[in-house]
Each structure stands twice: as structure tokens, then as C-alpha cells.
Structure 1
Amino acid sequence: MQLQVVICRRVRAGGSHSGALRHSADMRGSTAGLADTLASGSRAHAALLACADALFASLVVAPAVVTYWKSTWTLMDLYVLPEEPVGSAAACAAFGLCCDLLFSVFQTQLSKRLRPERGRLTYYVVSRLCTGVAGVACVGAWRGVWNLLNECTGSSARTLISTTAAAALSLAALRALRNICAAPFAIAVDSPQDYFDVPTMFRTNSRETMLYILDCIFSVTVVGSLVVFVWRGSWALLDIFLFPDDKSKSCWTSLIAGYVVVIVTFALQAPVRWSAARLHGAPRLLLADVYHLVSFVATVNVWRGVWGLLDIYFFPETPKLSNWCSHIVSLTLLILLNCSNSVIVRGVYIDAEEPAGECVVFPCHYLRLFFHKERTKKRHRRALQAAAAAAAGRKPEDASLPLQMPEEKV
């Protein structure tokens, strides 16, 4: 009994920091404290892992996320009132926004009821089903708002520029401009600690029921719609000005230009972070917003390029088969990679809310979190062995001997 108490104390002491780290890492958009904590070891090793994370996010996660969104969006075009554009858009918007609102309002209840401790298999299956529903809801909300804008405001260049600029300035005024970013600059790891967390604009406590519901409504409808306005306007402007008569050339140009800007943006992260750490107030906020706008230019070009090339080259003569295959394969791949939540646009993150230069660090810590978790497991095993050796009266150098009690029973 005494041995169990000693071991549990050692494990708790070693695991609390790791748990807090995973919690802050998995919330897309929040990077407070991550960069320094994950950079244990040599600088060369940390830089190598950072490059590997950037490559993984850009070449694996981003194409899979875009493929999921493109296939889900097109399937809605094919199945949801295809002969009635306005009705189809309204139905998708209503379904998507309502589901997003429900997931936001009931996030605390979902987090309490769906936990691995209550059954790992049940948790895994139900949580991934929730991701599937939330993913379809997000795509539906975006498609609905996007197409309603097309029907109501038209697609002239002047209108697009004015609506896009107005939406971007509104987000900047709300300090929510960073929410226009997506993969490859954001990866949401499927961690049980905050799997269902949806940060709201005003961070209202869920115990204040009415204020909390109003906060959720504002976050989902107002901030979410403004983000769609920015994406829709930027995408449509590229359609107008970037080789409008040659779709293949336009998409290839978007893809290449997007990845060039992705490389530049990741390369600039260290100097921008250094600069942000030395600025305060409005100058720091302005630097963060400009940096996020540059990353958005890269993001929207990569998305448009991958999206258009899938339309052109992936079995265009059989759209239903093509998009069903894309939908299933991309979602399955992301689930197996443990980052299926990357397909969901949820929550509101505040510009420059992290301390110092952390506000410009993108949440792309997939491989670094994996290696950190493995190092933490090794430290836990050593703590268990040391505690067992101390309780048994062995010498410290004999602590590496195997324990009689399996770790799983601790």
C-alpha cells in the first residue's frame, strides 16, 4: 500500500505539466507556453522537429482537410435541393449554424460525459461520430452563408472588395482576425483533455446560462459569418483575376503561389516572434494581424488550388463516386492520424492574447507533442522504478530493475 502511494505521488508530480501542455496545445489557435516547453534538447533538434511539423501540416494534413471540405461541399450541391439554390443554401445554413450552436452550448456536458475513463472504445467511437457530425455542420454553415451571399450581393469585383474589406476590418476591430487561418497553419490534435472545447468570444462562464448562450450565438453567427465573408471574397477575387479563362492554369498557379507563401511564412516565424516579444500594445497587435493576413493569403491559395485540381483531375465524369471516396478516405486518414478535429471550424480565438511572441506561433505541434509525450512516458517509468526501489530499500542504481507490479495497475 505504501509503495502504491509513493508511486502515485511521483506519477502525479511528473504528469501535471504534461497534461497542461497537451491541453494548451490541442486548442487550435492557442500556443501559450508551447514553443519553449517543446524546445527541450538541442536547438538543432528543436528546429528539425519544427520543420517536420511544418511539412506534415502542409503536405499531409492540409490536403486531407481540403479534400474533406471539397467533397462534403460538393455532395451537398448534389443532394441538398439541387434545383433550388436559395433553398439549398438556406437549409445548409440553418442546419450548420444550429449544430454549431448546440456543440458550443453543450460542450461542458459533452466533456463530462464522454471521457476515456468511462470506456475507451465508447469514447473513441462516439467522439469520432461527433467529429463527423460537427464537420458536416461546419461545411453546411459555410456553404449556406457563402451561397446566400452569392445570391444576395452578386459577384462583381467592386462588391467583393468592399464586403471582404469590411469583414476583415470588423474582425480586426473585434480582435478576432486570427480566426481566418486554417490548415496548414493550424492542426487540432484529438486529445481527450479538450476534445469538445469551443472557446467563445467573451469567455463567458457556462454557469451564467443566458449570458453564455448569447456569447455562443454571437461567436457562431457573427464572428463565424464574418470569417466566411473574408474567405468568400478572397476566393472569388482570385477566380476573377487569376487566369479566369483557364481553370487548370489558375488552380496550379494558386497552389504553387500558396505553397511559396507558406514556406515564406514559416521561415519568417522566428524573426516575427522575436519582434512581437519586444513590442507592446497596438504595435504588437498590428504585427500579429499583418502576419496572420499573410498566412491567410497562403492558406486561401492552397485551398483553392487543391480544391480546383480535385475537380479537374479526380474522376470528374463521376462526381458522386469521386466525392464519396474523397470524403471517406480523407476523414478516415485524419482519424487515424489523430487530428480529425482539424476539419472543424469552431471557437473564437483572440488576436495577440498569448504573452510576448507566442501570439504569432502557429498551432502546428503534431510531431513535437508526440515526442514530448514519449519523453514524458520515459520519465514516468523512471519515477515508478525509483519509487519502487526506494520503497523496497534497494540502492538507486538498482532502480532500473523490473517491477513486480505492472504499470497498468497503478
Structure 2
Amino acid sequence: MCLSRDSSGRGKRVCMGILGFMDSLLSIFIFAPLVVGYWRGCWQLMDHYLLPNNKLISIMTSLAIGLFSGLFFCLLQGPLGTLCDNDKRPRLHLLVSRLYTMIYCVCCVNHWRGVWATWDFYTGTSWQSGATSVGIGLLTLAITRGLKNILAPPFLVVTDHPEEYFKVPTLFNAKRERCGYFLLDTVFTVVVTGSLVVFVWRGTWVFLDVMLFPDQAIYSAWGSMVLGMTVTLLVFAAQLLIIPCFKKIRKGLGKILIEDAYHTICFIGDVNMWRGVWGLLNIYLLPEMPVVSNFITSIGGMVILMCFYNGNSILVRGAVMDGAEDGCKGIIFPTHYLRHFYKQNRNRNDPQRPDYWARDEDVRSPLHITAPLEATITSKANGVCDGRSFTDGFNDAYRSAYDEDDGRTSRPTSSFLNPDAVSTAARLSMARNRLDSSDLDARAHQTETPL
């Protein structure tokens, strides 16, 4: 029996490793270019259509759209989640969630365009301007512990899972019940942290424009592409060596500094890859018809990513704090795509891993969780309300999903059961045994208890 368990655990780890490798390739070579294509098309369409005859007003309009929409969607996340509950109103959720993604994506692009173009308008595009922008951004983000937020695809993937679809994480994770604190946290996250991330990207991009083949657009784009791909592949591979070193580290300034240094290196690959894809699309995709080219990449990127159940990867929303997670979770790239669906499918089909969040087929409104009555005095309490597997690889995608080989060999046993849960389960089992055989046959399938 032990050999069987060991073999099964080893097989699952191998399977998760293969899926993790495939997730990395999908993120680098498919999802990230599609995301860049959307941003490139939408941004340049804004340049073409949003008050092109008055540059300053166009910039201020983009900035206002981006900031106010960011605050609006962050404050509206609770009501939207309640109104568009996928369990109660699946059709409404599907319609509103996709419309939400399409609108929010445009708003995110306008926020970045407004901040970016404001720097260009008032300071120019010299290397000094770029260095100042990136210096202010990196230093302030490091002080406020928000440096991790400079990462973008291919270092994260956000699936369009309905659970907490509208959630926007704030930097200090303030609770909505504390209205004043939550409002301040929201404003700081959107206005300060979100804009500082643009400072870093804009400064690095401008610096590359000046330093990397400034007079030869083709060489500059290909140079960024090669550099970005090389650094990206290396840091993905480096995780195999770094993760074991971080598993036993919990908190501390040293851990934060190492994470920040690692994420800064990842960012070098990130920004170069984005700049390379962006420049190559401008050079090779219908350069004589730029408007058509922009429409193709923006609409095509959105549609294809939504077909991949991955449209939320386009969004830039919310923020997380550096060093907030224990061990190696802070440096694991949340690129869970195939692993996300594999875990969901395994939880549904594996009889040894009952679906604790199952819904009754005959009842639409109440949520049910299974309450196995087979527990005895010697059995361990089940993790009845552990929803970890239900949300793996989703939410804001900044949280690392639960990994099979992170040192844990079984599901956590977090639950709503009190310390007397074992004896209670035993009493329930004894009561069931007192039922006559006819009642047992009639009630054998009723093993769910409404929450």
C-alpha cells in the first residue's frame, strides 16, 4: 500500500512538472505576445482617435479615464461580485464579466498612456529622462514594498475563472468593512503604486530606445526580442535552483531584498520582450496600414485570449506587497494554466479527493458541501471547507497557486470543524448504523449538508 501511495505521489509530481513546463512555454510564446499585441493596438488607436490635434488634452483625458476608472472598478468589486454571482446567475455573470474585461482593458491602457505621455510631454525622451523615471519608480516601489508589481506576462497568467472574477487586490489588503482605510488603500494602490509601475516601464523603455540601435528600428526591435527571450528563459529555468533554497525561509528583510533583486532581473527580460514584440509588429504587420494593423492586434488579441479562457491576463489591476508570502511562494511565477484545469478535473474525478464544493444537481441556489459520515474515532477530520483547489491559479494571479511539490504531500486539513469534530462524526456514524436497511437504501445518496 505504501509503495502504491509513493508511486501515485511521484506520478502526480511528474505530471505537474510536465504541465508546469508546458505552462511556461504557453505563457512565453503564446499568451504574452497576444497580450502585447492587444496593448500595442489599443494604445496606438488611442493616439490616432483620442483628440489627436491637441496632444496635452489627449494625454490628460487618458490620465483621467485611467485613474477614475481604476478607482471605480476597485470600489465596485464587492457589488459586482454579489450581483453577478456565477452560482446564482451564470448567464448574467458571463455577459457582465466579459464586458467588464473589455472595458477595463481599455481603461488600463489609458492609465498607462496618460502617465507615460505626461513624462514624455514635460521631460522629453532623452536617456536622462528615462533614467530619472526608472530611478524614482524603482526606489519608491522598493520603499513601499510594491516592486513585485512591475512584472507582467509572461511572468503571470490569469484565467477567466468565475471565482472572485471582479476582485481587485489592494497593496495593504485593507478590508472593505473598514471604509476609510479601504478607501485610502484603494487610492494609494491605483494612483501611487499603479503610476510608479508605469514610471519604471517608461524609463526603461525610453532608455532602451536611446541606447539600443537608436537609428535602426529593425535592429533595435530584434535586439530587444533576443535579449528579452534570453533573460526570460534563463529566469524561468533559474526557478528550479532558487525555489529549494527559499522553501524554509519565512519572513525578513533579507528575503524581501533577494526577491526584489530577482524580480528586477525578471523585469529586464519582461520589458525587452514587450518592446521587441511591439516593434516587430509595427515593422512587419501591415506597416502601410497602421490603423488596420492596430485593430487586428487589439481585437485579435482580446478574442483569442478569451477563447483560451485567459482574457484577464491583459488587465493591470491591483497590487501585492513584496515578501508577504512565506517560503518560495513569492518567487514562483503564477503561470498556472494547464495545471489549473488539471487540478480542477482531478478534484472532480478522483474518488479519493471528494469535491467539497459540490452543488446539488436538483437545487440551484444553495451551495452544498459534502459531509462524509464515514469518519470514525481513529480517522482524521476532513478539510471540509478548504477551497484552495477551487481557486488555484486564479484571483489576481499574483498569489502563487498551491503546488504539489512544495513540501506538502496531502491536502491541508483546514475546516470549520471544532475540536470535537471527530467525536461528532463518530456519533453521526453510530446514528446512521441504527437506521434500518430500507431507510439506508433510500438515503444512500444523500450525503450533502447545506452550508
Task: Give the TM-score band, short-chain normalised.
Answer: 0.7 to 0.9
1:275 positional shift:
2.4
- Report the counterpart of residue 168 of structure 2 in structure 1: 198
Q: Structure 1 residue 383: deviation in Å?
A: 5.3
- In structure 2, which of residues 113, 133, 136 is the aligned counterpart of residue 143 of structure 1? 113
* Residue identity in the other structure for 1:216: T
After the TM superposition, which parts of structure 1 deviate over 6 Å for at least 4 consecutive aligned residues? none
Q: Between 232-241 and 270-279, report the one with greater CA deviation.
A: 270-279
In structure 1, what is the equivalent of residue 323 of structure 2? 352
The residue type paired with residue 91 of structure 2 is L
Contact 1:276 1:288 in 2 (8 A): no
Deviation at 1:42, TM superposition (A): 4.3
Q: Percent identity?
A: 37
The structure richer in helix per residue is 1
Does the CA-based 8 Å contact 2:172-2:321 persist in structure 1? no
Question: Would the alpha carbon gap of residues 159 and 49 (structure 1) be closer, same or farther in structure 2, given more than 3 Å must change?
Answer: same
Deviation at 1:307, TM superposition (A): 0.5
Q: Does 1:177 align with 2:139?
A: no
Give, in angstroms, the shift of residue 309 of structure 1: 0.7
* 2:132 aligned partner: 162
What's the offset of the Cα at 1:81?
Answer: 0.8
Of the three residues 369, 385, 402, the one matched with 2:340 is 369
Report the CA distance shift for 1:382/1:300 in structure 2 as closer, same or farther (over 3 A): closer
Look up the match of 1:78.
Answer: 48
8 A contact 1:276–1:287 mirrored in 2: no
Partner of 1:275: 245
Partner of 1:125: 95
Match of 1:224 in 2: 194
In structure 1, C-alpha distance between the alignment counterparts of 2:309 and 2:130, rounded to whole Å:
37
2:14 aligned to which of 40, 44, 49: 44
Q: CA deviation at 1:152?
A: 1.4
Query: What's the TM-score, normalizing by structure 2?
Result: 0.75
Q: Is 1:323 paired with 2:294?
A: yes
- CA shift for structure 1 position 163: 2.5
Partner in structure 2 of residue 294 of structure 1: 265
Alignment partners' CA distance in 2, 1:89 and 1:380: 57
Aligned to 2:26: 56
Amino acid at match of 1:57: S
Q: Which residue of 1 aligns with 2:211?
A: 241
Q: For residue 236 of structure 2, what is the amino acid of its counterpart?
A: F
1:202 alignment partner, SS class: coil
Pair 212,244 (structure 1): closer, same or farther in 2 beyond 3 Å = same
In structure 1, distance between residues paired with 2:74 and 2:10: 35
Q: Secondary structure at the match of 1:116?
A: coil
Deviation track 1:315-343 (CA, whole Å, cap 9, x = no partner) reads 11112221112211110111111111111
Q: Is the 8 A contact 1:96 1:137 kept in 2?
A: yes
Report the equivalent of 1:379. 350
Stretches of structure 1 lacking an aligned partner (at least 5 in a row): 1-38, 394-402
Q: Please give the per-residue CA displacement for 1:271-300, whole angstroms capped at 9, x wherever unaligned.
A: 222223344512111110111011100100
Q: What TM-score does the superposition give when structure 1 sets the normalisation length?
A: 0.82
The aligned residue for residue 337 of structure 1 is 308
Alpha carbons 1:259, 1:302 under 8 Å: kept: yes
1:11 matched residue in structure 2 = none
What is the letter of the counterpart of residue 230 of structure 1? V
Asked which structure has the greater RCO (Cα within 8 Å, sep 6+), the reply is: 1
CA contact (8 A) 1:181 1:292 kept: yes
Instruction: Pick closer, same or farther for the CA change 1:114–1:96 going to 2, 3 Å.
Output: same
Give the AA of the match of 1:81: L
Residue 76 (structure 2) aligns with: 106
Q: RMSD of aligned C-alpha atoms?
A: 2.6
In 2, Cα distance between equivalents of 1:153 and 1:306: 26
Q: Choose from 185, 205, 210 the match for 2:180.
A: 210
Q: 1:284 aligns with which of 230, 243, 255?
A: 255
Q: Which amino acid aligns with 2:278?
A: W
For the pair 1:252 / 2:213, whether they are aligned, the reply is: no
Aligned counterparts of 1:234 and 1:71: Cα–Cα separation in 2: 21
Task: Please give the per-residue CA displacement for 1:249-277, whole angstroms capped at 9, x wherever unaligned.
Answer: 11011111111111100011122222233
Partner Cα distance (1:40, 1:164) in 2? 45
Matched, 1:304 2:263: no
Note if contact 1:138-1:345 (Cα within 8 Å) is conserved in structure 2.
yes
Q: Aligned to 1:117, what secondary structure does the other structure show? A: coil
Query: Secondary structure of 2:321's match?
Result: coil
User: How many angstroms does 1:203 deviate by?
Assistant: 1.5
Query: In the superposition, relative to structure 1, how do residues 376 and 85 fare at CA in structure 2: closer, same or farther (>3 Å)?
Result: same
- Aligned residue pairs total 359
